Amino acid sequence: MPERDGKLHAKHRARMRKKFAEYGIDVFNSHELLEYLLYYVFPRCDTNEIAHRLEDEFGSVPEVMAASREQLVSVRGVGENAALYIDFIHQLCEKYNELVSEAEVRKNGRFTDIKDYFISAFTGLDHEAVFAAALDRRGRFVRGTKLTDGNIACVASPVRLIYDFSVRTGCDRIVIAHNHPGMSFIPSACDIHNTKDLVERLGLLGIDISDHIIVGKDGALSLRETMHAKDIWGNKENAQKK
């Protein structure tokens, strides 16, 4: 890189850092967000061009962040290190939402807050995923986690994933959740069938699936609070213990 270009880039970066320090992230346009992010991967080169290529390829910052590493590397100038860094930041944002929600639910300690936890946990996900939350004997939140991407019907062994989570947390009361990206939270026949199957199979292992929360674009629904509860949980008490 010519010395003059290097000095220009250094001055430009200094201006960008000053702008962020004084005004925060809201003053950046979309490609500037990517440009600034890439400063920490490329200490000297012009990341403005790479940011524009990423935006042209994927369309928006959220789509860039959600792209696979393979897709990112295919963009000229990105490379493996940048792809790993972008993927890390994307996963960090998801984990941050999950941890903030988890802390709030743990602080309040109420079962009704589980819906809010899952709504926040699924925020930003544009694909189906399965989450779980462990409850203690009094129904208080202990820990939550994402079990896997995909839906319950497609997961090879949801019983094993939930069982392992129960063992790790030492809790035998588990609430599961999955999302309907961009759709209503209304349960499908498949949702009801799969929930009943999991309740029965995990019940044989001493694990109580206390509820199945479905998160959609317009909120969340508890299967335990619907007319389907009796079909799924049989003669057990339909209302959750507070």
Range name among 6-15, 121-130, 182-191 with the lowest pLDDT average: 6-15
26-38: per-residue pLDDT in tens? 889 888 999 999 9
**Is 100 inside a domain boundary?**
no
**Is 18 inside a domain boundary?**
yes
Q: Is pLDDT of 162 > 90?
A: yes
Give dist(CA 238, CA 241) in Å, integer.
9
User: Which of 57, 92, 127 is the last residue in one of the domains?
Assistant: 92
**Is 238 inside a domain boundary?**
no
- Residues 6 or more apart whose Cβ sits within 8 Å of residue 228: 187, 192
Global pTM reads 0.57
Calculate mean pLDDT across residues 62-67: 88
Residues 61 and 148 in one domain: no
**Is 103 inside a domain boundary?**
no
Residues 45 and 140 in one domain: no
Query: Among candidates 189, 188, 104, which has minimal Cα distance to 141?
Result: 104
Confidence of residue 2 (pLDDT cuts 50, 70, 90): very low
Domain containing 206 equals 109-233
pLDDT for residue 53: 92
Calculate mean pLDDT across residues 127-145: 88
What's the CATH code of the domain at 8? 1.10.150.20
| 186 to 124, 133, 149, 212: CA distances (angstroms) | 20, 21, 20, 12
Share of residues in the chain with pLDDT > 70 (%): 85
Q: Is pLDDT of 174 > 90?
A: yes
For residue 185, give the 3-state DSSP assignment: coil
Confidence of residue 72 (pLDDT cuts 50, 70, 90): very high
Return the amino acid letter for 54: L
What's the CATH code of the domain at 175? 3.40.140.10
Give the H or E element holding residue 214.
Answer: strand 208-216
pLDDT for residue 235: 57
Give dist(CA 117, CA 122) in Å, integer.
9
Mean pLDDT of the chain: 84
